[in-house]
Amino acid sequence: MQPFVSVVIPTLDRLDRLTSSVEAAARQDYPKDLYEVVVVDNGPTDSEEQFMRLFVGVSEVDVRYVWEPQLGLHWARNTGAEDARGEVLAYTDDDAEVGPGWIAALAACFQDPEVGAAGGPIKLRWTSPPPPWAPSLGLYGALDYGGESVLLSSPRTIHGANFSVRRSALYETGGFNADLIGPRIVSDGETGLCHKLYRASWKLAYTPDAVVYHVQDGSLVTMASMKGRFRNHGRFSACRHYKCKPTGRVGLVAQAARALARAGRSKSKSLARRPARTQGYYTEEMLVSQNLAMAAYFLRLAGNADFRRMATREDWLTATSNSTGTGNSEPGAS
């Protein structure tokens, strides 16, 4: 029997891109009465009235709007789960377009009752080319595990723009590890969820037939934007390191010192390559940002017991919600 699927699309002030994402999700080769689209608005710019005019009643598929005031992608993903009706929750992004067979391919994976999550390839679709010094495509969310359906094993994970999960498995493992805000420090999000699913003995599946196209504008790829991406990757890496190998304050300060040393080495290399502006110059500059962010994260862990508890927290779904409920996410991290 085919499961009822809830497509969940978090969005943040990108109503123009969201239109293509919702339209692609509403044009699936899957029974129209067996899926819905839930858009979770995570920003103050767009309004429910704008959304209603654009999407409600324009397709055979039920398209609904939910607001999540707590800023953070994974807060929005968890709120989408609480509002959704599906046995399977299929996540994508507001700047992504799913292929017409996306839901059907993902749903087929869940015919195996031991599969807790499933995903597929993420292909980049550039509206304009990125600069020649742009780093590897993986940093933009691209994913390709090959042309055959396979069961994954750790450390392989599924990326958030093409991530489906069985509702019961999501609630069993505590949901997406949410972004920690103020200042914005990322957690390990869907990667953390994948590892929680592995530990709970759920299988993770990859199917090449569930294709998602991640739409990217190369003109927006600047050194400033890429340094921001590298900073977030540094915070993510520090979070994963601490969760996998927890240590005391002395150990955390030592980790910070090592990250600062790596930043210093990268800065020296970038200065040497700066006159020629080679690929290596740009890469080392971005690695400086990454390692400085890692150092700051480790130092914050060392100095703040509440932050250490937040970084290792695993249950990010509300205690009052259940596997069929429709609740609101927590008002904030504590």
Per-residue pLDDT reduced to its tens digit, 144-163:
999 999 999 999 999 999 99
Q: Residue 323 has what pLDDT? A: 37
pLDDT of residue 55: 76
Assign 328 a pLDDT band (cuts: 50, 70, 90): very low
Please determine, for residue 201, whether its predicted confidence score (pLDDT) is greater than 90: yes
Q: Do 197 and 160 touch, CB atoms closer than 8 A?
A: no
- Best mean pLDDT range from 48-57, 66-75, 195-204, 300-309: 195-204
Mean pLDDT of 262-271: 97
Measured CA to CA, the distance from residue 99 to residue 101 in angstroms comes to: 6
Residues 145 and 227 in one domain: no
Task: Report whether pLDDT(263) > 60.
Answer: yes
Q: In the predicted model, is pLDDT for residue 253 greater than 60?
A: yes
In a domain, residue 38? The reply is: yes
Strand partners for 213: 97, 123
Average pLDDT score over residue span 189-199: 95
Q: Residue 330: is its pLDDT beyond 80?
A: no
What does the pLDDT average to over 85-92? Answer: 97
If one counts the domains in the chain, the total is: 2
Note whether 255 and 110 are same-domain residues.
no
What pLDDT, in 10s, does the model give residues 287-316?
A: 999 999 999 999 999 999 989 998 899 999
Q: What is the per-residue pLDDT for 48? A: 74
Place of tokens 């599924």: 158
**Claim to verify: residue 161 and residue 12 sit in the same structural domain:** yes
Rounded CA-CA distance 14/5 in Å is 24
Instruction: State mean pLDDT over 70-87.
Output: 94
Instruction: Check residue 58 and give its pLDDT.
Output: 64
Mean pLDDT of the chain: 89
Only one residue has tokens 């377009």, namely 97
Same domain, 206 and 255: no
Q: What is the pLDDT of residue 44?
A: 66
* Res. 140 pLDDT band, cuts 50 70 90: confident
Same domain for 124 and 105? yes
pLDDT in tens, 1-47: 899 999 999 998 887 788 899 999 999 999 999 999 999 998 766 66
pLDDT of res. 334: 25
Whether 46 is in a domain gets the answer yes
The count of other CB atoms within 10 Å of the CB of residue 76 is 29
Pick from 220, 243, 273: which residue ends a domain? 220
Identify whether the C-beta of residue 189 lies closer than 8 Å to the C-beta of residue 179: yes
- Domain span at 53: 5-220
Q: What is the per-residue pLDDT for 128? A: 93
* Same domain, residue pair 153 and 237: no
**Residue 334 within any structural domain of the chain:** no
pLDDT at 324 over 60: no
Q: Is position 50 within any domain?
A: yes
Model pLDDT, residue 320: 34
In DSSP notation, 67-130 reads E--S-SHHHHHHHHHHH---SEEEE--TTEEE-TTHHHHHHHHTTSTTEEEEE--EEEEEEEPP
For the cut 70, the answer to whether the pLDDT of residue 167 exceeds it is yes
Is 91 a residue whose pLDDT tops 90? Answer: yes
**CB-side neighbour CA atoms (13 Å) of 305:** 0
In a domain, 262, yes or no: yes
Confirm whether 258 is domain-assigned.
yes
Last residue of a domain, one of 220, 236, 257: 220
CATH number at residue 161: 3.90.550.10
Same domain? 191 vs 250: no
Q: Is the pLDDT of residue 205 over 70?
A: yes
Last residue of a domain, one of 162, 191, 220: 220
Stated pTM of the model: 0.89
* pLDDT value for 138: 65
Domain identity same for 174 and 271: no
Examine the domain organization and report whether 89 and 21 are in the same domain. yes
Q: Is the pLDDT of residue 327 over 60?
A: no
Mean pLDDT of all residues in 312-334:
50
**In this structure, are 29 and 105 located in the same domain?**
yes
Residue 321 lies in a domain: no
Q: Do 118 and 38 lie in a common domain?
A: yes
- Are residues 154 and 24 located together in one domain of the fold? yes
Q: Given this model, what pLDDT does residue 331 score? A: 26
For residue 285, is pLDDT > 50?
yes
Within a domain: 328 = no
| Residue 333 banded pLDDT, cuts 50, 70, 90 | very low
